[in-house]
Amino acid sequence: MSESDSAAARAIELPFPYLLFLGDVEDKGHAKTAFGLRDWVPEKCVAELALPAAQVSTGLPAMRPAEAKAHGARSLVIGVAASGGAIKPGWMPSLIEALEAGLDLVSGMHSRMADIPLLVETAQRLGRKLIDIRVPPANLPVGTGLKRSGRRLLTVGTDCALGKKYTALALARGIAARGVACDFRATGQTGIMIAGGGMPMDAVVADFEAGAAEVLSPAAADDHWDVIEGQGLLFHPSFAAVSLGLLHGSQPDVIVVCHEPGRHRMLGSEDFATPSIEEAIELNLRLGSRTNPTIRCGGVSLNTSELSADEAEAMIAAESKRLGLPVADPVRGGAAFERLVDCCLS
């Protein structure tokens, strides 16, 4: 597959502004698509729609589909990222209501709207679009493992849904701010919606994971950086295969380990403990060296959203001293984050 083909495979046109659908989600971690869009492309988000059982809110105005349409919305985005990725039967009345109000539907769920007869029939009748994000391009190659030009940074983590996407977006922005050529490479549903393209790594057949990562981040100029959004973690009992294929295929020169202080059990897999930061660094470097022997850790990204500003500052300083690495919260920014960017580029 040529570089032009890979670029075409990554591109996707989405009808925005969006009405963000929260369904019946009970925690922010499983509403990361809605929160990601709100945080990184707020200008594309009009309102939210939630079922009565939902226990989270993005803080956007609550609107029914017809009202959102009147306020400029062009599509309803399913903002839920639940494990398993099923479109629940209880969501169907809201999705049909959106179509009838004149909105297209955008989904990053594993369950594809194109496989749901009622949605297909309704969309065809009303002339609306069903846009499934988690559809990898056809004819992906098997990974070669061969070194290619350009520089790459991959965010990895100690759990799912703790900041790999936010960290990658912030680092890409920070690197570009230094006048360095840089692209954010999205690998999950939310990142693809934010960037307007990417590779849905967890929808790729296992044999082609590394090849898909190579397609996502093709050969580039020697001074060009791709900042690649990480997926899952190498320690996960369910999702490690995606993480390993992405690690091998992206061949990162630098990894940044993402961690949430106080999280000791894996989200959605509470029978399993989260690894330590040191364990995550060691395993990612050991396995990543298979396709890039010079791989190194550029630092650590902490999700301190549950801490006060003073608590976060103290923890960032303490962890940096303990680990001997730059540590920062990319959302908080500041001098600590600038040091992290500098170390990644050094």
CATH number at residue 12: 3.40.50.720
Do 193 and 84 lie in one domain? The reply is: no
Q: Between helices 164-177 and 32-40, what is the axis angle to 10°?
A: 20
| Residue in the structure block whose two tokens are 């890039």 | 292
Residues 108, 202 within the same domain: no
257 - beta bridge partners? 156, 300
105 and 165 part of one domain: no
The bridge status of strand 75-78 relative to strand 45-50 is unpaired
Distant-in-sequence, close-in-space partners of 126: CB < 8 Å, separation ≥ 6:
99, 100, 102
Burial class (CB in 10 A: 0-12, 13-18, 19+), 92: middle
What pLDDT is recorded for position 8? 38
Cα–Cα distance for residue pair 238/227, rounded to 1 Å = 25
| pLDDT score, position 32 | 87
Distance CA 323, CA 43 (A): 38
| Gap between the Cα atoms of 269 and 286, Å rounded | 25
My answer on whether 219 and 281 are in the same domain is yes
Strands (E), the chain: 18-23, 45-50, 75-78, 104-107, 130-132, 151-157, 182-185, 225-228, 254-259, 265-266, 269-273, 296-302, 327-328
pLDDT value of position 6: 47
Q: Tens place of pLDDT for every residue, the chain, 346 residues?
A: 344 444 434 567 789 999 999 999 988 878 989 999 999 999 999 999 999 999 999 999 999 999 999 999 999 999 998 766 789 999 999 999 999 999 999 999 989 999 999 999 999 999 999 999 999 999 999 999 999 999 999 999 999 989 999 999 999 999 999 999 999 999 999 999 999 889 999 999 999 999 999 999 999 999 999 999 999 999 999 999 999 999 999 999 999 999 999 999 998 899 999 999 999 999 999 999 999 999 999 999 999 999 999 999 999 999 999 999 999 999 999 999 999 999 999 9
Residues 199 and 117 both lie in one domain? no
Phi, psi of 298 (to 5 degrees): -85, -15
Indicate whether 211 belongs to any domain: yes
Task: Indicate whether 144 belongs to any domain.
Answer: no
Strands 265-266 and 269-273: antiparallel
* Count of alpha carbons within 13 angstroms of residue 150, beta-carbon side: 22
Amino acid at 22: L
Contact 156, 164 (CB under 8 A): yes
Task: Check whether residue 173 and residue 126 sit in a common domain.
Answer: no
Same domain, yes or no, for 320 and 207? yes
Distance CA 67, CA 295 (A): 51
Clarify whether residues 95 and 166 are in a common domain: no
Same-domain status, 293 and 163: yes
Are 292 and 147 in contact by the 8 Å Cβ rule? The answer is: yes
50 vs 35: CA distance, rounded Å = 13
User: Which residues lie across from 132 on neighbouring strands?
Assistant: 107
**Domain membership of residue 91 as a residue range:** 3-132
Domain boundary among 99, 132, 165: 132
Are the CB atoms for 117 and 87 separated by under 8 Å?
no
Do residues 228 and 187 touch, judged by C-beta distance below 8 A?
Answer: yes
Instruction: Give domain status of residue 7, yes or no.
Output: yes
Q: Kindly provide the residue ranges of all beta strands, DSSP E only, lying in 181-239, ordered along the sequence.
A: 182-185, 225-228
Domain count, the chain: 2
CATH value at residue 229: 3.40.50.300
